[in-house]
Amino acid sequence: MKKVKDENTIYDPLPIEVAENLAELRDDLDQKVPFKELDRNLLIATWNIRGFGNFTRKWMSDEKDSPRRDLHSIFCIAEILSRFDVIAVQEVKGNLRALRDTLKLLGDNWSMILTDTNGSDSGNDERMAYLFDTRRVQLSGLAGEIVIPNEWVNDPEKVIREQFVRSPYAVSFRSGDKTFILVTVHIIYGKKSKDRLKEIHGIARWLNDWAGDINAYDQNLIVLGDFNIDARGDLLDETFLSEGLYVPEELQALSRSIFDATKYYDQIAWFNTADKRRPKLSLEFMGAGNYDFVQTALNNRGLSKQKLSFMISDHYPLWANFRI
């Protein structure tokens, strides 16, 4: 009797149903996400990929498998990521198995840069990561986690006096003749929404201060990630925008959560007005969107949204398109 393989790999032939689903996913992405145009545009995205750590090396996991994420899921995630030039990814876990196989699927022209995990329980064993297409985007030198200065501790005007639970991660990139700095964030969720206020105001204030310092280098500053903002116009949203950050209307109208269209968790924002101490974004904004994968990724497997969220994510990817 032929022995059945205990595990599959990304190099095994695709089952027919997986290949057909990926073709359907590509067609859907073609209709809903702008194409990458050489020397013309730049697609920047953010995506909280739920618990992006280990996965089951089977094409299709079943109820007894843990984790439920499987090879079919990894192929769908990689296909979605491939449509963007640089993606800030939140909830990358200490176990990098899923991330490594995703990067292999994206191909030799893709690279990543990421933090280590936060050692505390509150950090939830998470990393901050960027994946980027090296044909379109290159690192330009700066990479570092944001640390609250000691001088803030005794300053009554500084709203946050302790380090972030998950340190925001700033990395500079270059595309063509444009340099830009991305700062990715995953704000603490806490037991109640008020628990998020200090970190949200702290990062907004920190970015406002820093924007003046990088003016001499004429670099563009964009913050993106999961801010755990409950709703448009609520106190968390007002606090996020209180230091001058700007979210275009195209992004404001989009759903972030596969479960609740009113949730406003994820953001892409920048400074859109210049003053004596802070430059405005010089990249020309051309539009934005999310990608609703619920009806297409892992199609025909009869999964509830709850199960789908553990295999793909409970967040939609959010993207902004810029002219270069």
Give the model's confidence band at 273: pLDDT under 50 very low, under 70 low, under 90 confident, else very high. Answer: confident
- Dist. CA 244–CA 208, nearest whole Å: 7
Q: Which of 88, 73, 82 is nearest to 103 (CA)?
A: 82
- The 10 Å Cβ neighbour count of residue 57 is 19
pLDDT reported for residue 301: 94
What is the residue-averaged pLDDT of the chain? 91
Strands 318-323 and 284-290: antiparallel
Q: Is the pLDDT of residue 258 over 70?
A: yes
Q: Which of 122, 59, 112 is nearest to 89 (CA)?
A: 112
Q: What are phi and psi of 309, to 5 degrees?
A: -65, -30
Give the model's confidence band at 212: pLDDT under 50 very low, under 70 low, under 90 confident, else very high. Answer: confident
pLDDT reported for residue 324: 85
Give the model's confidence band at 277: pLDDT under 50 very low, under 70 low, under 90 confident, else very high. Answer: confident
Q: Would you identify the CATH topology of the domain 16-323?
A: Deoxyribonuclease I; Chain A (3.60.10)
217 token code pair: 């280098």
pLDDT reported for residue 175: 94
pLDDT tens figures, 57-112: 999 999 999 999 999 999 999 999 999 999 999 999 999 999 999 999 999 999 99
Report, in angstroms and rounded to the nearest whole number, the Rg of the chain calculated over CA atoms.
20
Q: Is the pLDDT of residue 225 over 70?
A: yes
pLDDT tens figures, 103-149: 999 999 999 999 998 766 666 789 999 999 999 999 999 999 988 77
Q: Is the pLDDT of residue 214 over 60?
A: yes
Please calculate the CA angle 172-96-190 and round it to the nearest 5 degrees.
75
Q: Omega before 67 cis (within 30°)?
A: yes
Domain extents for the chain?
A: 16-323
187 token code pair: 């704000």
Whether pTM exceeds 0.85: yes
Count, in order, helices (H) and strands (E) of the chain: 7, 12
- Mean pLDDT on 177-197: 93
Strands 245-246 and 266-271: antiparallel
Q: Is 54 helix (H, G, I), strand (E, B) or coil?
A: coil
pLDDT reported for residue 157: 61
Q: Is the pLDDT of residue 150 over 90?
A: no
